[in-house]
Structure 1
Amino acid sequence: MTFAWIVDGDGGRKVALDAAAAANGSADFVWFHLDGRQHESLEWLAARGGIPEIARGALIAEETRPRSEPMGEGALINLRALGKTPEDDPDALVSIRIWAQRGSVISVCFRTPSAIDTVCEAVARGVVRDPGDLISEIATAISRELDPQVAELGDTLDDCETALEAQGVYKMRRMIARARAKAIAYRRFLVPQRQALERLSALDADWLEEQDRMHLREAADRCARMAEELEAVRERAALMHEELTDLRAELMDSRALMISIVALVFLPLTFITGLLGMNVKGIPFAEAPWAFWGVVGVCLAIGVAISAWFAARHWLGR
């Protein structure tokens, strides 16, 4: 998904890269968005002048983390956002690489962030007028989309805590493990993203207005709050995992105890029936017509006596 926007007195217009490059300098603001998976986009970026080599390499780097670095008259910014196709993304959050300077912004993505559509709508409405507006709009859209996702993780743990008995131990362990893994993946990028936004809001750049800095600080505060909530989710998930492990151990102990009790009840009965079932001469009452029911009665009496003894010692209720 490669496109460009020209912003001038008539508002925002979506155009091709070449048209936007021709208007750069005459328009109020130009935004180039490049799809890093397209070879033509990378060639266009390589031929683009005015970008430091360090920033150019960072824009096409495979592995990134949230950061903001001033470089000459511009700034290199890396942010992380929810992906539009999470099933195709290796990371929970996809990277948005940005080179910003007065009058133009170049953004590069190797996956499609869902926040890009929201930002394009804001540009089309004329909300974005300069690079500071664009970056603050991107940061705000990212935090606005992440907020309910983080809250959903907390709700998931709440549901797990209230529905533990109904769901069962094994299914609940999988739900908690998924929530904890997602919280760890989100927190991995949200903590440095908060630091990057705070550093960007304090950047000494004339294309950042006070309102832009205020929006960036607000987005950084949201990231800080979400990071704290993710840390709480992770700790709660760890505690619930330990509780489930203890519950599972107790459940296995109770079942093992029940099996042992049943085995102890039937152990003397098996000995009696095995002894009387031997195919040898001399078994008492072998010809008596009441012998079978007599043995059954003795076995029942022994079974009831052993069960009563277990009940008296409160073993059956454990």
Structure 2
Amino acid sequence: MSGFGFKVADGVASRLAVEAAPAASGDLVWVHLSTTEDEAQAWLRNEAGLESYVIDALTATETRPRCEAVGEGAFLNLRGRTNEEMDSSDLLASLRIWVVKGRVYSLTRKPLVAIPLVEKEVEAGRVRDPGDLITAFATAITTDLDPEVAALGDELDDCEERLDAKHVFALRRTVSEVRVAAISYRRFLNPQRAALEKLAALPGDWLRDDDRLHLAAAADRAARMAEELESIRERSALTHEALTDLRAEQIDNRSLIISVAAMVFLPLTFLTGLYGMNVKGLPFAEEPWAFDAIAGGCLVIALGIVIYFVQRHWFER
């Protein structure tokens, strides 16, 4: 079984083997599993002795942030960053937690960045009970996500500063990536805020007043990040529209140049085609100065067309 355990008694934390955790006792016993669904279900049922509805919630395939009070305990599902590659539409990995007085079971399928941060908090003696541990989870996840959200905003700021026709293709790709990431993060941050607020309001003596304050602070931070992500999403949509307009203007300018060139050469093509026919009776066909006259006439026509377009301001952008 892949995972680890901790026991906290009288403010002193010690590591436990996962196998020894069900029999351990103290102010807090924390068991974290990082394993497949079948292995987790078997261990939680046979070793931990949890009820089937708790096991189903901890091992569900599709999850979103939520909080449910069940008896004297609570089930909490959160989302956080992972260093493993994720689908672009689902950038956050899930963390499922079952908590009762004195005991916490957590489960992940992908390693979350926040888990080692929480381990350090436990080892440092700053986590003494389940309320402290849940607070550490919420704080670590939001603290880890905050710089990522700020980085998306900074990246979009850079794109807006470089907004010109020279960088259209590169900027459109970057803006699209920022928008997809913002949508993916925001998709989970709003329900995560609601879950943390609901948890902070749950009755139960395993949550102290300071734990509730820290959970409310984490929920407020999640709400602020969700608002920032909504702003980034709207700004990226406007930037994408501006880039689309720049691209359309670029195409229009190139089409204008092609049209002017076609208008210049259209009468010239007619004259050269006419005098290129292999028939008798063409005017001045036998004269030695005929070629120079036709070439000069073509030049005059071309200059006349260009001057006409200049006077009509066709070349102004």
Q: TM-score range by the shorter chain?
A: over 0.9
Partner of 1:7: 8
The 5 A counterparts of 1:144-183 are 144-165=143-164, 168-183=167-182
Q: Residue deviations 1:148-170, cap 9 Å, x none?
A: 11111111111111012275222
How far 1:39 moved relative to its partner?
Answer: 4.4
How far 1:239 moved relative to its partner?
Answer: 1.1
Instruction: Give the Cα separation in 2 of the matches to 1:315 and 1:183.
Output: 42
Partner of 2:311: 312
Partner of 1:101: 100
Does the 8 Å CA contact 1:77/1:97 hold for their aligned counterparts?
yes
SS in 2 for 1:68: strand
Which of 166-175 and 268-277 deviates more? 166-175
How far 1:87 moved relative to its partner?
Answer: 4.6
What amino acid does structure 1 have at the position aligned with 2:252? D
Q: TM-score, normalised by structure 1?
A: 0.94
Partner of 2:251: 252
What amino acid does structure 2 have at the position aligned with 1:12? A
Does the 8 Å CA contact 1:198/1:216 hold for their aligned counterparts?
yes
Does the 8 Å CA contact 1:83/1:89 hold for their aligned counterparts?
no
SS in 2 for 1:206: coil
Identity, in percent, stands at 53
Aligned length: 316
Does the 8 Å CA contact 2:11/2:128 hold for their aligned counterparts?
no
Instruction: Give the Cα separation in 1 of the matches to 2:71 and 2:185.
Output: 32
Which of 291-300 and 301-310 deviates more? 291-300
What amino acid does structure 1 have at the position aligned with 2:104? V
1:301 aligns with 2:300: yes
What amino acid does structure 2 have at the position aligned with 1:161? E
Does the 8 Å CA contact 2:3/2:34 hold for their aligned counterparts?
yes
Q: TM-score, normalised by structure 2?
A: 0.95
How far 1:267 moved relative to its partner?
Answer: 0.3
The 1:90–1:263 alpha-carbon spacing in structure 2 relative to 1, beyond 3 Å, is closer
How far 1:110 moved relative to its partner?
Answer: 1.2
Does the 8 Å CA contact 2:189/2:222 hold for their aligned counterparts?
yes
Instruction: Give the Cα separation in 2 of the matches to 1:88 and 1:235.
Output: 22
SS in 2 for 1:65: coil
Q: Which runs of 5+ in 1 are unaligned?
A: none
Instruction: Give the Cα separation in 2 of the matches to 1:92 and 1:290.
Output: 77
How far 1:207 moved relative to its partner?
Answer: 0.8
How far 1:86 moved relative to its partner?
Answer: 2.7
Q: Residue deviations 1:238-296, cap 9 Å, x none?
A: 11122222222222222212211110110000001001111111223333333222222
CA RMSD of aligned residues (A): 1.8
The 5 A counterparts of 1:1-318 are 1-9=2-10, 11-23=12-24, 25=25, 27-37=26-36, 39-48=38-47, 51-87=50-86, 91-165=90-164, 168-318=167-317
The 1:18–1:107 alpha-carbon spacing in structure 2 relative to 1, beyond 3 Å, is same
How far 1:38 moved relative to its partner?
Answer: 6.7
The 1:181–1:53 alpha-carbon spacing in structure 2 relative to 1, beyond 3 Å, is same
Which of 87-96 and 277-286 deviates more? 87-96
Instruction: Give the Cα separation in 1 of the matches to 2:166 and 2:183.
Output: 24
